Amino acid sequence: KTKAEFSDIRPEARATATILTQYLQAGLLDLDRSNSKHVKCATALMHGLRSDTGQLMQAAEADFMAAAYLSQYCDAQLLSAILQASRSKRAMDVIERSLRNRNIQNSVSISGVGYLRYEDRDAIPQATDFLLTEEDVHTAVVYGIVHDEDDEREVVIGSLRTSKITLDPDEFIKEAFGHDDQGRFFGGGRSMAGGFEVPVGFLSGFYENGAYNRLKWEVFDVQIKQKLMKLINPKDGVMNPD
């Protein structure tokens, strides 16, 4: 269990921003349209709400109610600028790698993108969103090894997106990757989306020996693919060749 002074977990919630907005509506903070900080807060919440609900395509009643409330205070111009922000070159490189490395089985697209810097980790869900747009693909999974220099650690970070109503991302990811010795799952999800983070452990570290780094990536790449394929292709549980 998460160690926190206060915990509010709502498995049925479509967006964290909706939960936060409900706190505001309940009196946590009276938003003021003349206060620039309040306007930026409302705009950020609106962006988060739209992002988590697929631009409101997967929104529930609570999300629409929260969006209606936030619309009174958010900056439409600022929100538009955020939504139209261009992708960085590194994000485009990750998307290109995900396209080049993807393997499609049973309408599920799986792609490992190798090593990434910690500050580039947000490119992984962007690549996942892009792979989901391919014809005859209902689910996409993209992952890579992310190096965090500040904490001197490496983790495998992955993202899942799906348009298949009968696929539960939370259940799928938890079954695929399990949990650690303390019972904490390596990932989870919500409606249409999920993610996972698996520590690399004692193999952490990027070395000058390129052959070693390639070998390490190949080991993790194959292992992750097989864990996913046990659920995607249960007959033989292996990644079939293209």
Phi-psi group of 199: left, alpha or beta (phi > 0 → left; psi -120 to 50 → alpha; rest → beta): beta
The DSSP-derived string for 68-80 is HHHTTTS-HHHHH
Task: Out of 3-17, 119-133, 156-170, 202-216, pick the least confident.
Answer: 202-216
On average, the pLDDT of the chain sits at 89
Domain with CATH 3.10.310 in the chain: 89-232
pLDDT above 90: residue 233: no
Share of the chain above pLDDT 90, in %: 64
**Rounded average pLDDT over 59-68:** 94
pLDDT at position 234: 66
CATH architecture of structural domain 89-232: Roll (3.10)
pLDDT above 80: residue 26: yes
Q: Which residues of 33-64 are buried (b: 16+ CB within 10 A; e: fewer)?
A: eeeeebbebbbbbbbbbbebbbeeebbbebbe
pLDDT at position 151: 66
pLDDT at position 85: 77
- Is the separation of the CB atoms in 124 and 143 below 8 Å? yes
**Main-chain dihedrals φ then ψ at residue 157, nearest 5 degrees:** -110, 130
| CA 113/CA 206 separation, integer angstroms | 16
pLDDT above 60: residue 29: yes
